[in-house]
């Protein structure tokens, strides 16, 4: 917590760690699932963390895409064990997930999403 507080220049707390309904979610996306553009900027959320859990990824969709500054999209591949941290209030942090491309080897995109909150 202290490292993230220094990186993001905000005092974070673990007050919501015991409340998984508002703090952490597990996602399994298929080719039929998609996540529309959104900001994720609920009051008190200071840092969003995504951790990718799928060991095999063959360029078959599921990328996290940020609007980026000057509307220049930034794509992040869901590579196993990759951790993405971002401030959901920062300019360009609006994001979405590209649909999966169905094939026989990779059917799902798995990730955990969690938030750090300010005091």
> 35-39, 48-52, 61-65, 105-109 — which is least confidently predicted?
105-109
Q: Is the pLDDT of residue 90 over 80?
A: yes
**CA–CA separation, 42 and 44 (whole Å):** 6
Average pLDDT score over residue span 8-14:
80
CATH number corresponding to 2-118: 2.60.120.620
Q: Is the pLDDT of residue 52 over 60?
A: yes
Residue 80, pLDDT score? 92
Any idea where the domains of the chain sit in the sequence? Answer: 2-118
Q: What are the DSSP calls for 74-96, one per residue? A: EEE---TT-EEEE-TTSTT--EE
> In this predicted model, what pLDDT tens digit does every residue of 15-32 receive, in sequence order?
666 565 567 888 888 888
Confidence of residue 81 (pLDDT cuts 50, 70, 90): very high
CA pseudo-torsion sign 67, 73, 78, 81: negative
Residue 21, pLDDT score? 57
């Amino acid at each position: 917590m202290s490292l993230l507080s220094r990186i993001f220049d905000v005092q974070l707390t673990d007050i919501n760690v015991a409340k998984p309904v508002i703090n952490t979610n597990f996602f399994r996306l298929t080719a039929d699932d998609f996540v529309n553009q959104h900001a994720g900027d609920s009051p008190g959320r200071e840092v969003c963390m995504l951790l990718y859990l799928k060991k095999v990824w063959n360029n078959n969709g599921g990328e996290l895409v940020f609007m980026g500054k000057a509307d220049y999209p930034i794509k992040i591949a869901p590579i196993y064990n990759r951790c993405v941290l971002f401030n959901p209030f920062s300019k360009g942090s609006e994001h979405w997930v590209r649909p999966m491309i169905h094939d026989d080897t990779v059917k799902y995109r798995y990730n955990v999403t969690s938030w750090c909150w300010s005091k």
